[in-house]
Structure 1
Amino acid sequence: MLDMAVLLSGSGRTLDNFHERIKAQTLAGRIRVVVANVPSALGLEKAQNYGYPAFVAQNSRETNAILADYPLDIVCLAGYLKLYEPPPTLAQRVVNIHPSLIPMYCGTGFYGDRVHRAVKSRGCTVSGCTVHFADEHYDEGPIILQKCVTLDYEDSIKEIAAKVFAAECEAFPEALNLVDRYGVDFFWKRVQR
């Protein structure tokens, strides 16, 4: 079972998903702490309501000072819109979800509706999400799991986003279960870097 930190910047929809799946015993994890970089993030209020320790930290240094007080196996970036730099003890233990099939529509500047707008403008008939380990570059760490969704020609950006988020709700917990099963090193060793 993974001891998890959740870093977020917004509404906490991924936190909701984790919480529900942990309660249902379909996610092999325990949320030890939640940290937001935005003081008004709704996810902070949700974390407190769920009973998780919840904090605000403006940068990686402040975040790492908070995380040092908790036993952690993994740090989950759940809609965290900053580049997070972990301490050496958590290097290669940061997991992110991206709303496209990496290596398409990823990297600096590609997040949220910007990704879905790019998918729509290119006329893609599929999109999806990628759960991957994060490193010092946006969206370049080893891939754990990808899920694909079919798009209709007339799908709006909002409809694309909804389809992708539904896939994310399945993919992120499934990927964390794979990390729990295989271990972190397995995923770093299986890719050529």
Structure 2
Amino acid sequence: MSSFARVAVLISGGGTNLQAIIDRLAEGELPHVELALVASSRKNAGGLDRAERAGIKHVYIGKENFEQDLIKLLDEHEIDIIVLAGFLKILSSDFVSRYPDRIINVHPSLIPSFCGDGFYGLRVHEAALSYGVKVTGATVHFVNEVTDGGKIIAQRAVDVKDGDTPEILQRRVMEEAEWKLLPAAVEKVAAEIVARRG
């Protein structure tokens, strides 16, 4: 049996979380992970360039029949784990229910704070600053039919500092939490999948 879990990363933008996974892989920190596919919902996403530089199979999937085309690709590449890394498309309940405990998302807050419909990107950090919290962070969780409602895999707290703007806070949360948590969570889930295979 394979000692790897095959991973697909779904992106829509620059791919900084994808890069964190690529870097940890290169450093040998993800022994059960095989990064088999990067798929983007946007044609010019910077993450596709990152995948190309790393020698990873990468594709852009157009809006029409997006989920059907994605399912076909996932099947073709025998994907075990789907990672949403700055992926801005909402997946349907039908799609999500096909992959129970196999879709992972990283969210830039400590769920259940500042999450759910409409909370993504800078909006999360704007809300945290406007509320006046002193600590925020990131959460990696399984995806289910409820936006940001799946079981939590890992969390890491990040201090909010005087003078933070949403952009400054976003960068700190990425550097101190997202880029560390996500690769580690992918490895944890991959190791569990490999162990279950016996």
Do they superpose with TM above 0.5? yes
Letter in 1 for 2:57: P
Alignment of 1:19-30 (within 5 A): 19-28=22-31, 29-30=33-34
* Structure 1 residue 75 corresponds to structure 2 residue 106: no
CA distance in 1, matches of 2:96, 2:84: 15
| Residues matched between the structures, number | 185
* Structure 1 residue 37 corresponds to structure 2 residue 41: yes
* Structure 1 residue 177 corresponds to structure 2 residue 187: yes
How many angstroms does 1:183 deviate by? Answer: 4.5
134-143 vs 77-86, greater mean Cα deviation? 77-86
* Structure 1 residue 128 corresponds to structure 2 residue 137: yes
CA distance in 2, matches of 1:161, 1:131: 16
After the TM superposition, which segments of 4 or more aligned residues of structure 1 sit over 4 Å from their partners? none
How many angstroms does 1:16 deviate by? Answer: 1.1
Letter in 2 for 1:161: Q
Deviations 1:48-97 (A, max 9, x none): 22111111113222211111111221000010001224376533310000
Letter in 2 for 1:170: K
Alignment-derived partner of residue 55 in structure 2: 51
Letter in 2 for 1:165: M
Alignment-derived partner of residue 118 in structure 2: 109
8 Å Cα contact 2:81/2:104 also seen in 1 = yes
CA RMSD of aligned residues (A): 1.8
3-12 vs 78-87, greater mean Cα deviation? 78-87
Letter in 2 for 1:142: K
CA distance in 2, matches of 1:18, 1:164: 16
Alignment-derived partner of residue 60 in structure 1: 67
CA distance in 1, matches of 2:67, 2:110: 27
Q: TM-score, normalised by structure 1?
A: 0.89
Structure 1 segments unaligned to the other structure (5+ residues): 187-193
Q: Secondary structure at the match of 2:76?
A: coil
Q: Secondary structure at the match of 2:6?
A: strand
8 Å Cα contact 2:107/2:139 also seen in 1 = yes
Structure 2 segments unaligned to the other structure (5+ residues): none
How many angstroms does 1:181 deviate by? Answer: 3.7
8 Å Cα contact 2:96/2:145 also seen in 1 = no
Percent identity, aligned pairs only? 35
Alignment-derived partner of residue 118 in structure 1: 127
